[in-house]
């Protein structure tokens, strides 16, 4: 086998392994040897394999409804409370 061909195949594999796609509602934190480098925006991104890693962070607002509860006020009036948690 031709050594130039095998080297070019290895280089192509190295380039393809580092390809990452970040979706619109997410961001990626880029780390090089465990140290924060920068935040990657959505799109087609490339990282250096075996040297850099990314951690995906979801930036959507998530809501959870809390079941309504009956409470008593100081003057003994029953009141219904509804709640929503945003995070």
Which candidate, 49, 58, 57, 51, places its Cα nearest to that of 20?
A: 49
| pTM as predicted | 0.68
Strand duo 52-58 + 63-72: pairing: unpaired
Tell me the domain boundaries of the chain. 3-59
Counting beta carbons within 10 angstroms of the beta carbon of residue 52, is it exposed (0 to 12), middle (13 to 18) or buried (19 or more)?
A: middle
Structure tokens at 11: 């280089």
For the chain, 87 residues long, give each residue's pLDDT as a single digit of tens.
788 999 999 999 999 999 999 999 999 999 999 999 999 999 999 999 999 999 999 999 888 888 888 888 888 888 888 888 887
Please give the Cα distance from 72 to 78 (Å, whole number): 5
């Amino acid at each position: 086998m031709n050594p130039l061909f095998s080297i070019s195949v290895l280089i192509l594999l190295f380039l393809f392994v580092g390809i990452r796609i970040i979706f619109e509602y997410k961001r990626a934190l880029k780390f090089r040897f465990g140290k924060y480098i920068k935040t990657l925006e959505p799109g087609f991104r490339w990282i250096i394999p075996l040297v850099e890693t990314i951690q995906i962070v979801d930036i959507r607002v998530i809501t959870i409804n809390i079941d309504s509860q009956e409470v008593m006020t100081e003057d003994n009036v029953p009141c219904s409370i509804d709640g929503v948690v945003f995070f």
